[in-house]
Amino acid sequence: MKKLIFAALLVSAQVHGAVTVIDDDGKAVTLQKPAQRVIAMAPHVTELIFAAGAGSKIVGAVNYSDYPEAANSIPRIGDNREIDIERVVAMKPDLIVIWRHGSSERQLEQLRKLGYPMFHSTPKNLDRIADNLVSMGKLMGTETAAEAAADALRRKLAALRAQYANRPPVRTFYQVWDKPLYTLNGAHIVSDALKVCGGVNIFANLKVTAPVVSIEAVLQEDPEAVFGTAEKNYGGVNLWRPYTQLQATRQGNLFTVDGNLLNRAGPRMIEGTAMLCEKLEQARQHRKN
- What percentage of the chain exceeds 90 in pLDDT? 82
Q: Is the pLDDT of residue 248 over 70?
A: yes
The CA distance from 257 to 250, in Å, is 19
What average pLDDT does the segment 67-74 reach?
97
According to the CATH classification, is domain 14-143 in 3.50.50.60? no
Write down the CATH superfamily of domain 164-286: Nitrogenase molybdenum iron protein domain (3.40.50.1980)
Residue 201 near residue 184, CB atoms below 8 Å: yes
The CA distance from 188 to 135, in Å, is 21
Q: Which residues are registered as beta bridge partners of 183?
A: none
| Strands laid side by side in the 199-201 sheet | 199-201, 170-175, 225-229, 254-257
* pLDDT score at 233: 61
Distance of CA 30 to the CA centre of its chain: 23
pTM of the shown model: 0.89
* pLDDT score at 29: 96
* pLDDT score at 210: 92
Count of other CB atoms within 10 angstroms of residue 39:
27
The CA distance from 287 to 224, in Å, is 10
Q: What one-character-per-residue DSSP string does 164-218 give?
A: HTTPPPEEEEEESEETTEE---TTSHHHHHHHHHTEEETTTT-SSSS-B--HHHH
* pLDDT score at 109: 87
Q: What is the pLDDT of residues 121-179, one digit of tens each?
A: 999 999 999 999 999 999 999 999 999 999 999 999 999 999 999 999 999 999 999 98
* pLDDT score at 232: 65
The CA distance from 242 to 185, in Å, is 25
Number of C-alpha atoms within 13 angstroms, CB side, residue 228? 20
The CA distance from 262 to 268, in Å, is 8
Residues of the chain with CATH 3.40.50.1980: 14-143, 164-286
Q: What is the pLDDT of residues 85-131, one digit of tens each?
A: 999 999 999 999 998 765 577 888 889 899 999 999 999 999 999 99
